[in-house]
């Protein structure tokens, strides 16, 4: 199979617009959480979220007008605008702007979302009830469909290769990158624009996840303390929004055009829990098998792993189940691994989480630094694994693994490695 490398990165997160802004703030231990002030939350158990800072584009703020025409923005939900921003950043970063028919046809798109246009569906269903079907916009469907993130990005940049999408709840972003890499490895494309995007912060989204008892509810007055993976006082995840997109490229293709190579995607594993719709299997076997499959595919030993970006959402049961699975996987190698949950800073971006976390793993390799698990003041269990509490840790990182687990018992693990010069 052909080798696949990463040559471009892009993101919009609750810490800011852009990879550099987000990464700097992650390493500084900042949190993107705040009290929700864009809709009524008084009757919601969880009243906080990690929200993208909107603004004029200065100081790392997100200005949608820089990424999509205002008249186009009206037609779509935010997850599509976030994807447009992250994709253009990634393509610019990779300096890949295909202009010939051959290059366009060799470049595909695979951007997923966990839920898609939830707020647009909520608002339009009210409109339908109050004013009838004639008031429903012709852009209602295309502006909400999950694969329209890929659709809009492909149209904007003229990408005529595979046009695909993934919907696997909170594993979406990891599956998109893993599947995108496979399309290149198997020769369906030379370049793939892959990632995840999500805009779930609306009353319906909050109400739904509150009802599933998934969200943090004890920190409404201290939002930045709420996302605290592995800490004994954690009580649920903090909803997030945003997008992460990478440019994946066949190794020789990247070398030939002199592209800057961040790292190689060497392993990808998938598994199913076959246990419960929202709870992970208590023995952590699903996560264990997805990590094991990725390691087998990569052809490395578990002791080669330096850094793990955990799924670690800050829920009561999920964090320890994952930790147990990682301990079982690593065995005696546990003490040399650093594992952190950047969701402590970003919140949980659902379908975008796996994509932004793959990017953080890539940057951890680039900069030889493990991003911190902020708010980890009192770990709920003892472990030999370094959970990178509170502050980032400088250390050698050549191989990183990123985990994503989703509702429906869907698990994905991606392994990346530094490419020797």
Q: By C-beta, is 63 or 335 nearer to another protein? A: 63
Give strand pairing partners of 111. 195
CA gap 357, 344 in Å, rounded: 12
- Shortest distance in whole angstroms from residue 71 CB to another protein: 4
Q: List the structure tokens of 1.
A: 């199979």
Is residue 418 within 8 A of residue 263, CB to CB? The reply is yes
Q: By C-beta, is 70 or 299 nearer to another protein? A: 70
Nearest alpha carbon to residue 149 among 160, 165, 168:
165
- Shortest distance in whole angstroms from residue 164 CB to another protein: 23
- Shortest distance in whole angstroms from residue 84 CB to another protein: 16
Q: By C-beta, is 71 or 394 nearer to another protein? A: 71
Q: List the structure tokens of 11.
A: 């993101």
Q: By C-beta, is 68 or 416 nearer to another protein? A: 68
Is 382 buried (19+), middle (13-18) or exposed (0-12) by CB count in 10 A?
Answer: exposed
Is residue 45 within 8 A of residue 236, CB to CB? The reply is no
* Residue 361: C-alpha distances to residues 140, 219, 231 (Å): 36, 28, 22
Q: List the structure tokens of 395.
A: 């250390």
Helix (H, G, I), strand (E, B) or coil at 33: strand
Annotated catalytic residues are 170, 311, 348
Nearest alpha carbon to residue 33 among 47, 14, 46:
14
Q: List the structure tokens of 401.
A: 């693994």
- Shortest distance in whole angstroms from residue 74 CB to another protein: 8
CA gap 343, 352 in Å, rounded: 11
- Shortest distance in whole angstroms from residue 138 CB to another protein: 4
- Shortest distance in whole angstroms from residue 69 CB to another protein: 6
Q: By C-beta, is 53 or 142 nearer to another protein? A: 142
* Residue 55: C-alpha distances to residues 60, 72, 125, 332 (Å): 9, 19, 29, 48
Instruction: Report the interface residues with another protein, using CB under 8 A.
Output: 69-71, 134-135, 137-139, 142
CA gap 250, 311 in Å, rounded: 27
CA gap 343, 321 in Å, rounded: 16
Q: By C-beta, is 132 or 258 nearer to another protein? A: 132
Q: Looking at residue 239, what DSSP letter applies?
A: B
Q: By C-beta, is 75 or 417 nearer to another protein? A: 75
Is residue 400 within 8 A of residue 415, CB to CB? The reply is yes
Nearest alpha carbon to residue 7 among 224, 167, 190:
190
The Cβ of residue 350 has, within 10 Å, a number of other Cβ atoms equal to 31
Give all strands (DSSP E) within 72-124, no chain letters: 107-112
């Amino acid at each position: 199979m052909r080798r696949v490398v990463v040559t471009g990165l892009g993101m919009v997160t609750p810490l800011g617009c852009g990879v550099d802004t987000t990464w700097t703030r992650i390493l500084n231990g900042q949190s993107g959480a705040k009290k929700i002030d864009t809709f009524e939350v008084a009757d919601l158990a969880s009243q906080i979220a990690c929200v993208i800072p909107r603004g004029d584009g200065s100081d790392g703020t997100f200005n949608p007008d820089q990424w999509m025409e205002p008249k186009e923005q009206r037609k779509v939900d935010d997850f599509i605008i976030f994807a447009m921003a992250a994709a253009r950043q990634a393509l610019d970063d990779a300096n890949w702007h295909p202009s010939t028919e051959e290059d366009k046809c060799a470049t595909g798109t695979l951007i997923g979302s966990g839920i898609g246009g939830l707020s647009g569906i909520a608002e339009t269903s009210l409109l339908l009830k109050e004013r009838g079907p004639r008031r429903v916009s012709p852009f209602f469907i295309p502006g909400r469909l999950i694969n329209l993130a890929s659709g809009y990005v492909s149209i904007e940049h003229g990408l005529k290769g595979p046009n695909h999408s993934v919907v696997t709840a909170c594993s979406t972003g990891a599956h998109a990158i893993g599947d995108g890499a496979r399309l290149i490895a198997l020769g369906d494309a030379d370049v793939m624009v892959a990632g995840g995007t999500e805009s779930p912060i609306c009353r319906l989204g909050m109400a739904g996840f509150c009802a599933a008892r998934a969200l943090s509810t004890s920190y409404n007055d201290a939002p930045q303390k709420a996302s605290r993976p592995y800490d004994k006082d954690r009580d649920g995840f903090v909803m997030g929004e945003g997008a992460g997109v990478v440019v994946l490229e066949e190794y020789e293709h990247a070398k030939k055009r002199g592209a800057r190579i961040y790292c190689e995607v060497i392993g990808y594993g998938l598994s199913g829990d076959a246990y419960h719709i929202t709870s992970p299997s208590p023995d952590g076997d699903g996560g264990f098998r997805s990590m094991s499959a990725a390691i087998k595919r990569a052809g490395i030993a578990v002791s080669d792993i330096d850094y793990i970006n955990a799924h670690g959402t800050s829920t009561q049961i999920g964090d320890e189940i994952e930790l147990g699975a990682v301990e079982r996987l690593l065995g005696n190698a546990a003490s040399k691994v650093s594992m952190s949950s950047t969701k402590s800073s970003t919140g949980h971006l659902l379908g975008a989480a796996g994509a932004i976390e793959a990017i953080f793993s890539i940057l951890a390799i680039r900069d030889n630094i493990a991003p911190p698990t902020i708010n980890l003041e009192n770990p709920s269990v003892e472990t030999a694994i370094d959970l990178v509490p509170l502050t980032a840790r400088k250390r050698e990182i050549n191989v990183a693994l990123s985990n994503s687990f989703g509702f429906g018992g869907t698990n994905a693990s991606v392994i990346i490695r530094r490419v020797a010069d």
